[in-house]
């Protein structure tokens, strides 16, 4: 039979193939992390992408939950932005159809037989005193015209009246501009870019390429100083520094993180990033 004519591999050859297998195998942590993410995907209707509580708790489960939650929020923001843009366009369209509002009354008092328009200050009629009706000729001159009522608006009031009275066609009211539809979309692609750099650093760490991993994290820090995955970056950095034979720097990073981010789900992992004796 053909099988019997195949020579067995030598021990040296087997050892080399074993080294390749070990080098290319996933770690237990990778296996657990992927299982957690897989459960989210295949867990059924209840394990929707909007669920924030992964079946497996811990730093890595929270990492994926964070990514899923942020992505869903960004997708919702895109929908809201599109709706706002649509509403904004509709509103502008409505205004364009509105009849032009006449300019406010700014002239002097209209008079009918010398009488000033009564009834309080008219819009825009600033600093224009209203005078009482002049006494009809012939009426008792002895009647003194007393208490001439002069309505004088203070500068502040006049400004308020002016603001309230001015029609929008003359002075359009500032309206919040709708969020551009591109903003949530660019935020989503920003998150993907962050993910790519963190993954690159993680892969480099697994392969023992500490310098490459630190360079990827440096790029992340420069491009996304306050990115969504900033905590993950700091923990990875401490782990890579420790693996690169720089324990003092690693432990400084650990102490700083635990001081600033004591409540983070990554605290446990950070505490183990560079134990004494590393």
Nearest to 229 by CA among 201, 267, 195, 269: 195
Nearest to 198 by CA among 217, 181, 221, 182: 217
Show the tokens assigned to 189.
């692609």
Question: Nearer Cβ to other proteins, position 69 or 244?
Answer: 244
Q: If binding is defined by CB under 8 A, does position 15 make contact with other proteins? A: yes
Q: If binding is defined by CB under 8 A, does position 206 make contact with other proteins? A: yes
Q: If binding is defined by CB under 8 A, does position 235 make contact with other proteins? A: no
Q: If binding is defined by CB under 8 A, does position 249 make contact with other proteins? A: no
Tell me how far, at minimum, the Cβ of 200 lies from other proteins, in Å.
6
Nearest to 239 by CA among 22, 19, 29, 20: 29
Measured distance CA(195)–CA(203) in Å, rounded:
12
Size of the site for other proteins (CB under 8 A): 51
The window from 122-130, 168-176, 211-219, 252-260 that contacts other proteins (CB under 8 A) reads 211-219
Q: If binding is defined by CB under 8 A, does position 5 make contact with other proteins? A: yes
Contacting other proteins (CB under 8 A), which of 7, 113, 147, 225?
A: 7
Measured distance CA(39)–CA(230) in Å, rounded:
25
Tell me how far, at minimum, the Cβ of 267 lies from other proteins, in Å.
23
Tell me how far, at minimum, the Cβ of 247 lies from other proteins, in Å.
14
Tell me how far, at minimum, the Cβ of 73 lies from other proteins, in Å.
21
Contacting other proteins (CB under 8 A), which of 72, 212, 230, 252?
A: 212
Q: In the window 18-47, what residues touch other proteins (CB under 8 A)?
A: 19-26, 30-31, 33-35, 37-39, 41-44
Tell me how far, at minimum, the Cβ of 7 lies from other proteins, in Å.
6
What radius of gyration, in Å, describes the C-alpha atoms of the chain? 38
Q: If binding is defined by CB under 8 A, does position 48 make contact with other proteins? A: no
Q: If binding is defined by CB under 8 A, does position 67 make contact with other proteins? A: no
Q: If binding is defined by CB under 8 A, does position 223 make contact with other proteins? A: no
Question: Nearer Cβ to other proteins, position 106 or 199?
Answer: 199
Q: In the window 185-204, what residues touch other proteins (CB under 8 A)?
A: 196, 199-200, 203-204
Q: If binding is defined by CB under 8 A, does position 131 make contact with other proteins? A: no
Region of 68 on the Ramachandran plot (φ > 0 left; ψ -120 to 50 alpha; else beta): alpha
Region of 100 on the Ramachandran plot (φ > 0 left; ψ -120 to 50 alpha; else beta): beta
Residues forming contacts to other proteins in the complex (CB under 8 A) are: 2-3, 5-7, 9-10, 12-13, 15-17, 19-26, 30-31, 33-35, 37-39, 41-44, 55, 196, 199-200, 203-204, 206-213, 215-216, 219, 243-244
């Amino acid at each position: 039979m053909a099988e019997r004519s195949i020579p067995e591999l030598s021990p040296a050859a087997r050892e080399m193939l074993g080294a390749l297998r070990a080098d290319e195998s996933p770690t237990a942590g990778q296996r657990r992390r992927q299982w957690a993410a897989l459960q989210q995907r295949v867990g059924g209707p209840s394990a929707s992408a909007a669920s924030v509580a992964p079946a497996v708790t811990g730093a890595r489960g929270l990492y994926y939950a964070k990514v899923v939650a942020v992505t869903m929020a960004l997708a919702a923001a895109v929908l809201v932005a599109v709706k706002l843009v649509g509403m904004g366009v509709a509103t502008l369209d409505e205004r364009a159809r509105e009849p032009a509002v006449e300019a406010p009354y700014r002239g002097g008092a209209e008079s009918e037989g010398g009488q000033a328009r009564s009834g309080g200050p008219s819009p825009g009629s600033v600093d224009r005193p209203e005078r009482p009706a002049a006494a009809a000729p012939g009426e008792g001159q002895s009647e003194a015209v007393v208490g001439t009522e002069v309505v004088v608006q203070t500068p502040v009031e006049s400004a308020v009246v002016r603001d309230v009275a001015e029609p929008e066609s003359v002075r359009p009211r500032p309206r919040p501009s709708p969020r551009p539809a591109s903003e949530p979309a660019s935020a989503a692609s920003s998150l993907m870019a962050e993910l790519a750099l963190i993954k690159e650093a993680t892969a480099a760490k697994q392969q023992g390429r500490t310098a490459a991993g630190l360079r990827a994290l440096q790029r992340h820090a420069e491009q996304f100083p306050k990115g969504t995955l900033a905590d993950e970056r700091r923990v990875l950095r401490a782990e890579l520094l420790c693996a690169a034979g720089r324990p003092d720097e690693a432990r400084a990073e650990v102490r700083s993180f635990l001081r600033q981010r004591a409540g983070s789900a990554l605290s446990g992992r950070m505490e183990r990033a560079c134990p004494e004796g590393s």
